Amino acid sequence: MSQELLERYQQIVGPDVIDHLKQLAYHLKDAKVVHINSTRYGGGVAEILHSMVPLMQALGLDVQWETISGEEAFFHVTKNMHNALQGHPVEFTEASINTYEENNRKEYERLKPLLEEADFVFIHDPQPAFLITLCPERKGKWVWRCHIDLSRPYRPVWRYLRNIVVHYNASIFSMPDFTQPLPHPQYIIPPSIDPLTEKNMELPEEEIKGVFSRFGLDPNKPLVLQISRFDRFKDPMGVIRAGLMAMKFTPLQLVYAGGGAADDPEGELIYHEVLAAAKGHPDIHVLMLPPDAHRTVNALQRAADVVLQKSLREGFGLTVTEALWKAKPVIGGNTGGIRLQVVNHHTGFLVHTPEGAALRIRYLLFYADKRLEMGRKAHQFVKENFLITRHLRDYLSLMLALISGNGERVEVEARS
């Protein structure tokens, strides 16, 4: 089974990439690895773990993925923390801190045996970060994996979280800009997509075309798409404005398709704001998708002519990678990890405003040859830089670096 899985990836990335992974994993055989985040569905972190965990297992590591659960109040606090860490001032009270720590304490009771025994613990984002302070008997290496843009955090919240993060052996950020002064090694590992998932695999042509009738779209009009949670950092209102502006000059239809993540209580509110903005515009379609609509997201991305990701802040932007992989040029907000992926004028365009986005929409819809050429480059760029196999290689290297720092010697060389 595991060999079969590796072979399926090999068909896409080639044998050298898979051999390299096996060489690295050889030194980590049976290592107990635990990943912890706060949701199994919705959002980029869960997407990555769904692919990363079986691949690590296929390479011989003993991996478990746990999520911490919590009441609404807990997720309200952590959503506030998330916003604050991305630069949005919030009210961060003693009561919020208590809610946060108490929930972590409660979850720790359940996870304690696993966490104490693990050789490597990857804690994703702030929600479960406090667990480390509750685990003095830990024997493994703990890594804080930060998926968000920490370049300009709201200080009171970062000061609090930093006092927790300093306990980790290392931290991982998606880009150099996101790092903060910390007393341990910081690694830069951009995220990735999995080409084998329902979200990214090839689809039959009729399934792609099927989205037009399914969602009441016009098959003869260019399709401009943004797929994102209903979150203010994704700038849904800016997307609608850009669509409306471009529409004045070029026939097109705009789809904003999103869903809510289980750990995001703000989504409902923003969904209604977006619906209100789209009301009365027949060429603007706002779709609320269930969290498991992976094939639908895939089909929409493949059906689109141009993909937008007009975020105001973005950790990485998996939706960008997904669209580029499907050979679509992306018009992206000039922020965070979008800058790593959208190479201006090559794989898409970086924009700052709805006006800028509208201009680039018109350009790409007008010059079909440019659009297709940029799409081809986009696909190749993802193949070389942003597939799960590269991501996994980085994680394995990091784990080896952490144990070799302990005095162990690791030699990675070709084995027959």
- Which two structure tokens, joined as six digits, stand for 242? 């850009």
Burial of 275 (0-12, 13-18, 19+ CB in 10 A): middle
Smaller CB separation from ligand UDP, 222 or 315:
315
Q: Are 182 and 165 in contact (CB under 8 A)?
A: yes
Nearest distance from C-beta of residue 293 to ligand UDP, angstroms:
6
By beta-carbon proximity to ligand UDP, the closer residue of 43 and 153 is 43
- Indicate the DSSP class of residue 351: E
Residues 290, 291, 296, CA angle at the centre, nearest 5°?
70
| CB nearer ligand UDP, residue 169 or residue 228 | 228
The residue among 28 and 46 lying less far from ligand UDP, judged by its C-beta, is 46
Q: Which residues bind ligand UDP (CB under 6 A)?
A: 43-44, 47, 199, 227-229, 257-259, 289, 293-294, 297, 316-319, 322
Return d(Cα 378, Cα 221) in angstroms, integer: 23
Minimum distance, C-beta of residue 366 to ligand UDP, in the bound complex (Å): 27
Question: Minimum distance from CB of 259 to ligand UDP (Å)?
Answer: 3
**Judged by CB, which is closer to ligand UDP: 128, or 259?**
259
Calpha distance 26→5 (Å, rounded): 17
CB of 39 to ligand UDP, least distance (A): 10
Cite the DSSP H helix spans in 150-191: 155-165
Nearest to 293 by CA among 54, 41, 69, 37: 41
Nearer to ligand UDP, 44 or 236 (CB): 44
In the complex with ligand UDP, the residue whose CB is nearer, 178 or 316, is 316
* Angle in degrees, 0-180, between the axes of helices 155-165 and 72-85, rounded to the nearest 10: 100
345 phi/psi in degrees, rounded to 5: 75, -5
In the bound complex, what is the minimum distance in angstroms from residue 106's beta carbon to ligand UDP?
Answer: 25
The CB-of-268 to ligand UDP minimum distance in angstroms stands at 13
Residue 139: C-alpha distances to residues 113, 127, 403 (Å): 11, 22, 12
Angle separating helix axes 388-404 and 2-13, nearest 10 degrees: 110
**Residue 301 CB, nearest approach to ligand UDP (Å):** 8
User: CA–CA separation, 160 vs 382, rounded Å?
Assistant: 36
